Amino acid sequence: MADGSWLGGATRRRIANLAVVAWLAVQLAVPALYYLRGGGPDERFAWRMYSTHRLTRCGVALNDYPEGGGKSRSVELNRAYQRAWISLLSRGQPRVADAVMEDQCRRGDVARVRVRWRCVTPDGEAQAAVYASKVCG
């Protein structure tokens, strides 16, 4: 080794080539797994070049139902949660919806919580309302 390195030039090139191939494999595998699992509202790891999902606008409403029956109560999202949480909730992020419903259950005399999304596609077509609910306790 005239250059003082403990690895030969061919070995270093081989390691560099393997690193590049591994990096490219990860870049292809992560988005591919998103699609193989059926997609969904979370597009952080997807190929989004032609996706219109992000352009869909959704309104979200959160209601809780008191223990012992009674009328549902509308939760003012702007007072109860940060804007970032509301934004993620309006995009239909399942983990965020679960966390918000769990948080509402912990707030007191709540028997059940329901989230409702009403979305409009980029074409202006109203989609059917989507609901998620959680029974507290």
Number of domains, the chain:
2
Q: In the chain, pLDDT over 70 holds for what percent of residues?
A: 83
In a domain? residue 48: no
Q: What is the pLDDT of residue 40?
A: 63
Same domain, 66 and 12: no
Tell me the pLDDT band of 91, cut-offs 50, 70 and 90: confident
- Let me know if residue 44 belongs to a domain: no
The CA distance from 17 to 117, in Å, is 48
Q: What is the reported pLDDT for 69?
A: 81
More confident residue, 49 or 83: 83
Residue 104 has pLDDT above 90, yes or no: yes
pTM (two decimals): 0.63
What is the extent of the structural domain holding 30?
1-39
Burial code (b: 16+ CB inside 10 Å, e: under 16) for 74-89 equals ebebeeebeeebbebb
State whether 68 and 106 are in the same domain.
yes
**Mean pLDDT of the 4-17 span:** 81
**Structure-token pair, residue 34:** 């998103």
Rg of the chain (C-alpha set): 24
- pLDDT at 35 > cutoff 90: no
Check pLDDT > 80 for residue 112.
yes
pLDDT at 12: 87
Residues 60 and 126 in one domain: yes
For residue 46, being part of any structural domain is answered with no
User: Does a structural domain hold residue 118?
Assistant: yes
The H helix count followed by the E strand count for the chain is 4, 4
**Both 57 and 21 in a single domain?**
no
Task: Looking at the structure, tell me whether residues 20 and 57 fall in a common domain.
Answer: no
Are 58 and 96 in the same domain? Answer: yes
